[in-house]
Structures are given as C-alpha cells and as structure tokens.
Amino acid sequence: MPKVAVVTTGGTIASTRDGKGVSRPVVAGSDLLGSTRTGTEIRVVDVMSKDSSSMTFADMDRVRDTVTSELSDPDLDAVVVLHGTDTMEETAFLVDLHHDDPRPVVFTGAQRTFDHPESDARANLADAIAAGTNPALRGAGVLIAFGGSLHRASGTRKADTTSLDAFRSVHPTGDLPQRLDPLSWHPISGTRVDIVAAYPGADRVQIDACLAAGARGLVLDGLGSGNANPAIVEAVRDCTSAGIPVVVTTRVPHGPTSATYGGGGGGHDLVSAGALFSTDLRAGQARILLAALLADPDLTELDKEFDRRSRIDPAPRIS
C-alpha cells in the first residue's frame, strides 16, 4: 500500500463559509481526507491554517522544512501539500528549488470551499495523491495538481480567479520541464525582496522606499517584454551600483521577456543599467528565486544562476 504524507496549511480547500458567506480555513486535515484514504496509507501533518494571501517567507520556510522532515521517512512514497491558491506558486517553487529527493511533492488546493455543494476540494486532493503515488512521476520534482491538470511548479502561475482549472504553465500542460540541480538550502525569511510595478508615468519613489526599508533585491514588474521608462532606469542603475540586484519581469501573462528596446527606458537600457532579466518566471516566482539566491552566502555568480533558473525548457511528456 502506498504511503503519503499530507501536509496542511489552510487555504480555500480547508475553508467553510459562515452565515455571511465569508470563508475561513477551519477544517482539520483528518476531516479533509474523507473518502480519499482508500488504497493509500495517509499521514496527516497539520502545519498551519492560513489564507495563503497571509503567507510570509517564514511560513514558506516552515512548509519546506516540514516536507523535508516527512521525506526523511524511507517508507514514504510522496508528500502532498494542501495550500491556498493565491500564493501556491511561490511556496511550491521554493520547495522545488531545494528538492533533492526523487519522490514527488505535489501541491494542490481548491477554488471552492470544502462545504460548497460542488467543491473541487476532494477531486483535487484525490488527483494529487494519485500523482504522488504514480511511479512514472518519480524524479519529476515538485508538481501542482489542479483542475484535472498536472504542472511542474517552476513557471506555473495562477491565471484565473474563479475557474476550476486555475493554473497555467509556461509550456503546455503535460510537458514537464527539465529539472535543474537543487540549490543549497538557506532559509529565505529575513531576506527582503520587494516587487515594484512599472506603469505609465511611474517614477522612482517606490524603488527608493524599498531601499530605505532594507530591500536586498528588487523585482521590477515591467511593461511589454520587460520595459520601463528613463526615471526607472536611472533608479535601477543606482540600485545595481550599490550592490542591490534588480530583476526585470513583465506584467504580460504569456511570452518571454526580451531586452530589445532602447529609447531611454526599454529592456536594453535596463540591462545597460545592470538589471537581470527573468526570461520565463513572472514576478512572484522571480522574487522567490532572487530571495533564495541572496540567502546563500556562498553563491558567487548570482546573475548567471538567476538566468539559468529563470529559463524554463520543455521536456518529454510524462503520462
């Protein structure tokens, strides 16, 4: 009989609605499992009960530590993590960056609360457990099972606020990208990395405020293929001159970034000012990667490592 640890963190999948229709994560892991126990030995590990919008770096570190602790059991086949959808892509990616075990870790959650008459909670949980115990997925790393689809954590993001198939991958569903070697583990709590938005007329006020607050790195959520304006470029130059890395991504949902535009504020100008480009990762996961790299005191080539890990290459489909 397969053996799976189910780590609970809260989220919609563990929520019920009160008389006013307000959802709160109050359902214990043992109650969540219900009929999914058939054919699988389940060990429930209740870690926290949070809306994932309230997750901090310290919470994400805690989830990663719990996953690693559970995998110290040699008889365990997989770990399933129940997580809110708002920040699932960040926590799953953090775990994936440091995952050095062939056994899969599968994240899942729900769009509809546990007490909804047509909740997707049980179906997603059953799919996650099935993926975790599928021998073909050994070595696939950290996955997200959601709405009948299976995604690699790297490059996946929530793309719809209500659809039951809420997540999208950089590459088509089923094309699981090649895994890279895991990073050395260093907690990211205490490593401040902020996200700054570019928009028409944006100035450097947000960037200066983040620096004053102690940011060790910044992610610029740029326009188009990764563009801004001359005022932002000048602020980026000041950051990089002071040893504060700035990563450029884009607010556009699909397509890679490209440092091809000049004109004083384009991607080419940002690179000339010392910025790094996140080829495929959007702002949430780019922030996690930058924080993980900054947290490693032994890392000497942050720019090369970031570039390598922000490019998501497809791999043969796993059925």
Distance CA 14, CA 112 (A): 10
Q: Which of 8, 9, 12, 191 is catalytic?
A: 12
Burial 209-230 (b: 16+ CB within 10 A, else e): ebbeeebbbbbbbbbbbbbbbe
Active site residue 191: no
Distance CA 309, CA 102 (A): 19
Residues 6+ apart with CB under 8 A from 274: 236, 237, 239, 240, 241, 246
Q: 150 is written with which tokens?
A: 């299976």
DSSP letters along 98-114, please? H---SS-EEEE--SS-T
138 secondary structure, DSSP code: T
* H or E segment and range at residue 91: helix 88-98
Catalytic positions, written as ranges: 12
